A and B are shown apart, each in its own frame.
Chain A
Amino acid sequence: MGEPTEGASGALDALNRRASRARVPVWALWELTHRCPLACRHCYLEGAREGAELDARETDLLLRELADAGTVFLVLSGGDPLVRDDFLDVVDRARELGFAWKVLTSGMLVDDAMADAIAARLPLEVSMSLHGLRRAHDEIASRPGAFDAVLGAARRLIARGVRVLLKTVVTPAGAGDVAAVRDLCDRLGARHVVSTRHIPGFDGGEAQDPFCLSDAQLAGQLDGGASAPVGPHRLLRPDEALCNAGRSALAISPRGDVRACLLMREVCGNVRETPLSEIWRGEAMRRLAGLVAGGRARCASCADAAFCSYCPGLAEAETGDPLVPAEAICREARLRRERYEARA
């Protein structure tokens, strides 16, 4: 056997490269439902196209199609997938079909019995949002007791050997709590990640504005709150792909709409009407898979390019065009450069 490798340049990167070259959707994010016990004030699902969720027969068929397509990692998301009565049935079927699965949940429904059931089904990880400490989280989630529910769920799962990830999407209300939340996660034994980007809502995005960070707040949270500024990175070649969306990743909505990623709004097809394999090979998905760095005309001479972590999905969600940068992306890159130059 070759020497095992640790870190980002090992087997997973090799798999991503191989899958992208061969266009195999090894990553699938499936929103099982948009229903959720919480009503987070910055939730981007506001205005999302609704309709009947895929039923048991459709769910089974989709899982089979994903297996044959080569999907390895199945991320069950929502809403909160646990509100579906058949959530555990879906997981059982996914395991029978050989998926490595994980779930994103609000944590509100993870009692002892559900924690037992999840642990027995060997998830890669259970992910929950933690918007800040108690006051900030409950306020943003619009639900008193939500903070305690997340902590309770995390403790139950961790006690059963389940890996838990808590994610903080930083808002002005929760920005001051990030360090304390990180400490809390350390004490719990949970992984913690921070996101500074807010996703425009399906209804147009203006509702996101109150949740945008000031420049000072954002600069303090960039790169996971790293104390040392992140330096310039290698520029993508003009012919290099912008991300893996549509190349080795896809997203599916509760009603079966297939998109290249969760953020991209363009629907490439619906599994109720078209086999997944045809959608994946179809013109719309191939076009999105073919987005390359050189297609971003506005970025060609940007002084911040080496500090930019461009996201075509966020760009499309904000501007309607995956190749026209979102203001949020440009602001991050500018702040990252300024922070780096100030230290340098």
Chain B
Amino acid sequence: MERYYTRSRTVASRVVAGEAVLVRMPDARLYCLNGRASRMWVRADGRATGLALADGFEPSVARAFLDEMVSAGLLERSSSPLEVAEAFPQNVVWPEAPPASEAPEIVDSQPVDTTAGCIPPETEIACYGLPQTFSV
């Protein structure tokens, strides 16, 4: 039976430099996807089947990734398509396609601590004085 996949409405997301960033809002957890997974995420509009999302990639691997996304509460799976596709809320400009061998993957995941928005990476002293700019 065909299954259809939709991005969960409790997940905030963007594509940043070709890779999707997902924030699961109920528990403020950040997920980063690789290039192939990002393309699958953006196309999961409620009318796309698992096979269509796999887009020619090994179906069993794609299915395992989709299962993981559903388990994490990032994607919703349904036996019927949405009447109207849910457009991705960003005009995405994709860089070059990922390598043919790249399997879809969640590459990293972490609780969001938004205190650190302005802090330059890799410095060891935090910017304690920031006026809630991106802290908060």
Instruction: Please tell me which one of the listed residues A1, A73, A123, A309 contacts residue B68 in the complex, with CB atoms under 8 A apart.
Output: A1
The size of the chain B interface, using a CB distance under 8 A, is 54
Known: A11-B110, A70-B90. A263 touches B131 (CB 8 A): yes
Stretch from B19-27, B43-51, B54-62 forming part of the interface with A = B19-27
Known: A29-B133, A197-B131, A311-B130. A234 touches B110 (CB 8 A): no
Given the complex of chains A and B, what is the CA–CA distance between A319 and B131 in angstroms? 17
CB pair A125 B124 closer than 8 Å: no
Contacting residues of chain A (246-261) with chain B, CB-CB under 8 angstroms: 248-249, 251, 261
CB pair A6 B16 closer than 8 Å: no
CB pair A124 B28 closer than 8 Å: yes
Q: Is B78 an interface residue (CB 8 A)?
A: no
Q: Is B123 an interface residue (CB 8 A)?
A: yes
CB pair B136 A75 closer than 8 Å: yes
Given the complex of chains A and B, what is the CA–CA distance between A248 and B17 in angstroms? 12
CB-CB < 8 A to B114: which residues of A? 73, 75, 102, 124-125
Known: A18-B16, A96-B89, A102-B114. A127 touches B25 (CB 8 A): no
Contacting residues of chain A (2-17) with chain B, CB-CB under 8 angstroms: 2, 4-8, 10-17
Given the complex of chains A and B, what is the CA–CA distance between A21 and B17 in angstroms? 9
CB pair A127 B136 closer than 8 Å: yes
Given the complex of chains A and B, what is the CA–CA distance between A307 and B126 in angstroms? 11
Known: A1-B105, A263-B133. A71 touches B14 (CB 8 A): yes
Within the complex, the shortest CB–CB distance from B73 to chain A, in Å, comes to: 12
Known: A70-B14, A73-B134. A100 touches B112 (CB 8 A): yes
CB pair B116 A167 closer than 8 Å: no
Given the complex of chains A and B, what is the CA–CA distance between A329 and B125 in angstroms? 13
Q: Is B109 an interface residue (CB 8 A)?
A: yes
Given the complex of chains A and B, what is the CA–CA distance between A99 and B26 in angstroms? 13
Given the complex of chains A and B, what is the CA–CA distance between A4 and B16 in angstroms? 20
Q: Is B10 an interface residue (CB 8 A)?
A: yes
CB pair A245 B118 closer than 8 Å: yes
CB-CB < 8 A to B113: which residues of A? 8, 12
Instruction: Please tell me which one of the listed residues B25, B106, B109, B117 contacts residue A27 in the complex, with CB atoms under 8 A apart.
Output: B117
Instruction: Please tell me which one of the listed residues A7, A104, A124, A196 contacts residue B23 in the complex, with CB atoms under 8 A apart.
Output: A124
Q: Is A332 an interface residue (CB 8 A)?
A: yes
CB pair A236 B120 closer than 8 Å: yes
CB-CB < 8 A to A2: which residues of B? 105-108
Q: Is A54 an interface residue (CB 8 A)?
A: no
Within the complex, the shortest CB–CB distance from B16 to chain A, in Å, comes to: 5
CB-CB < 8 A to B31: which residues of A? 11
Choose among B25, B26, B30, B131 the residue with the greatest number of A CB atoms under 10 Å from its CB. B131
Given the complex of chains A and B, what is the CA–CA distance between A24 and B20 in angstroms? 13
Q: Is B80 an interface residue (CB 8 A)?
A: no
CB-CB < 8 A to B28: which residues of A? 100, 124-125, 163
Within the complex, the shortest CB–CB distance from A70 to chain B, in Å, comes to: 5
Given the complex of chains A and B, what is the CA–CA distance between A24 and B19 in angstroms? 12
CB-CB < 8 A to A14: which residues of B? 32, 108
Within the complex, the shortest CB–CB distance from B61 to chain A, in Å, comes to: 12
Known: A195-B129, A249-B134. A122 touches B89 (CB 8 A): no
CB-CB < 8 A to A248: which residues of B? 117
6 tightest Cβ-Cβ pairs between the two chains A and B: A197-B129, A233-B124, A100-B12, A11-B108, A122-B25, A10-B110
**Chain B residues in contact with chain A, CB under 8 A?**
9-10, 12-17, 19, 21, 23, 25-26, 28, 30-32, 68, 88-91, 105-136
**Chain A residues in contact with chain B, CB under 8 A?**
1-2, 4-8, 10-22, 24, 26-27, 29, 44, 67-68, 70-73, 75, 77, 95-102, 104, 122-125, 127, 163, 165, 167, 169, 193-197, 199, 222-224, 230, 233-234, 236, 240-245, 248-249, 251, 261-263, 307-309, 311, 313-314, 328-329, 332
Taking A6-B110, A12-B30, A22-B16 as known contacts, 4 extra A-B pairs with beta carbons closer than 8 A to each other, sorted by chain A number, are A95-B12, A98-B89, A102-B114, A234-B123
Some 25 contacts from A to B, beta carbons below 8 A apart, are A1-B105, A4-B110, A5-B110, A6-B110, A10-B110, A13-B121, A13-B122, A18-B16, A21-B17, A27-B118, A29-B133, A73-B23, A97-B90, A100-B112, A102-B114, A122-B10, A125-B28, A125-B114, A233-B124, A233-B125, A249-B133, A307-B125, A309-B123, A309-B127, A314-B129
